[in-house]
Amino acid sequence: MKLSPCPPVEHGADGRVPLKLRRVAIDTWRENVAYLHRDCDLYRAEGFQALNKVEVRANGRKVLATLNVTLDPRIVKCDEIGLSMDAFAQLGVEPGHPATIEQAEPPASIAALHRKIGGERLTREEFHAIARDIAEHRYSKIELSAFVVATHASELDREEVYFLTEGMIAAGQRLDWRERLVVDKHCIGGIPGNRTSMLVVPIVAAHGLVCPKTSSRAITSPAGTADTMEVLAEVELPIERLQEIVRAHRACLAWGGTAQLSPADDVLIAVERPLSLDSPAQMVASILSKKVAAGSNHLVLDIPVGPTAKVRSMPEAQRLRRLFEYVARRLGISIDVVITDGRQPIGQGIGPVLEARDVMRVLQNHPLAPIDLRQKALRLAGRLLECDPDIRGGDGYSIARDILDSGRALEKMMALIEAQGARGFDPERAPLARHRFEVTAPRDGVVTGIDNLQIARIARLAGAPKVAGAGVDLMRKLGEPVRAGDVLYHVYAEYPADVEFAREASARASGYTIGAPHEVPQVYVEF
């Protein structure tokens, strides 16, 4: 493409060069990206380099962004500065608004980052500075990756984990509900289905406890709590609206990305996902910083253990438990860590619509409600209810069961859905993806193994969570007898290409092992 020469730039009264802002419709996954044309006179004159950090100012606001350079005027013209969707939204202006760009100062904490890369121990002040620079988008993706790898390779000691967690909390806003007891429940993840939070929250809120549940979207799983709740109601709530809902209904089930709670964690997650790194230090800092920032002071933490879970052995689970308990104690949070059975998915459906169907069936006491999801949610809710000093230890489970069986939990959930903006979901006519195929048992026997990772992978290849109606619907669980040709699970996909991706993956490895009854692995459970 032959390009017309760019006109010379004119400096403004303050010496800066004004360019026109352009919204570039590229989703850069939480990274602020700026775009300049290569032949822009400013680009040549100021010595900008691709992938450097720049500061874009407009409307009295500023955004730090990573610079990308383009040759195509259809992306950005010579007199324009382009911004990715998230970055553009932060400035709060219309396209064409004048803006200035200049090179950003290096992060103040870069020396501390280099020390951590070298394996040195960092101080509280250094971790606070790193968290602050990350939250302010002063680190490039390369520098973020270096930090994630460094904290993974040279494992942080427990005090360093506390310093990192404290710094991540300080870098964002912190909610204060002005309540003596604010509870939450969290699972470290790695188990498909397992949508217990959407049951625990209405149960404990119906009892009267405050439970402001802010959740993430899926990172490597086929659905997160926010993805599943979004099938039922709006989850991207302004912080003011979120606070109104919690004060009116004692709870919420919202996406945490709009609340600026531990924003450094949101940035780090975007790097950890493609690297497939989830170190114990980062996990503890991520979870506890989010809970403290959300105003919680009592937490029940679920650590599933199983051959294909995040945590594979009981000794590993106990080490992780001790680290959570140490950091939580330093932060002033009461934590109850529960080690649970992670040998297989929890519930029947895997994917936003299928998991929403399971949740609503449990709340409705439907005869087809998955028993394992119901029982696990009741036990976790019971542990959380026992934070209430008016409840005797051991009585939580029966109280949770009464709240669920009486319909009070369903009533509370429907109130939350209405308050957040109901989407009219009917679990008996769930809007599943158009295409379906079955995966069957290759021989007679019993189900002796279900690979959490492979089942999650198949559901993602089918389109979940981006396609809400895509996913896997399980027909058999561990220990159940099967005959050759029996259906193990259904796969739902919206697009023919996704059908083929999922079909090929399930043909290579179905995720199920069929064997003899004595081959079923032992149960890891603390309930």
Residues 21 and 38: their CA atoms lie apart, in Å, by 16
Q: Where are the alpha helices (DSSP H) in 92-215?
A: 110-117, 124-135, 141-153, 158-170, 197-207
The CATH number of 183-255+290-420 is: 3.40.1030.10
Q: Which of 86, 227, 265, 278 is catalytic?
A: 278
Contact 478, 525 (CB under 8 A): no
Angle of helix 225-232 relative to helix 352-363, nearest 10 degrees, comes to 70
How far from 71 is each of 35, 38, 233, CA to CA, in Å?
A: 10, 6, 42
Delimit the domains of the chain by residue range: 19-103, 183-255+290-420, 435-519
Residues 54 and 31: their CA atoms lie apart, in Å, by 13
Token digits of residue 207: 């009892």
Contact 165, 289 (CB under 8 A): yes
Residues 279-293 have pLDDT tens digits of: 899 999 999 999 999
| Per-residue model confidence (pLDDT) at position 278 | 76
Q: Are strands 487-493 and 471-474 parallel, antiparallel or unpaired?
A: antiparallel
Residues 296-320 have pLDDT tens digits of: 999 999 999 999 999 999 999 999 9
Residues 351 and 345: their CA atoms lie apart, in Å, by 12
Is 1.10.10.10 the CATH number for 19-103? Answer: no
- Name, in order, each residue with C-beta under 8 angstroms of 461's C-beta and a sequence gap of 6 or more: 498, 501, 502, 505
Asked, as a colleague might, if the bond just before 192 is cis with ω within 30 of 0, I would say no
CATH fold label, 435-519: Aldehyde Oxidoreductase; domain 3 (3.90.1170)
Q: Which residue in 388, 344, 341, 387 sits closest to 488, CA to CA?
A: 344
| Per-residue model confidence (pLDDT) at position 1 | 45
Asked, as a colleague might, if the bond just before 465 is cis with ω within 30 of 0, I would say yes
Residue 278: active-site member: yes
Strand partners, 69: 36
| Per-residue model confidence (pLDDT) at position 271 | 84
* Single pTM value for the model: 0.90
Residue 264 belongs to what H/E stretch? helix 263-275
Q: Which residue in 193, 333, 510, 276 sits closest to 502, CA to CA?
A: 510
CB atoms within 10 A of CB 371: 11
Report, as ranges of residue numbers, the positions in the chain whose pLDDT lies below 70. Answer: 1-17, 45, 259, 524-527
Residues 141 and 31: their CA atoms lie apart, in Å, by 8
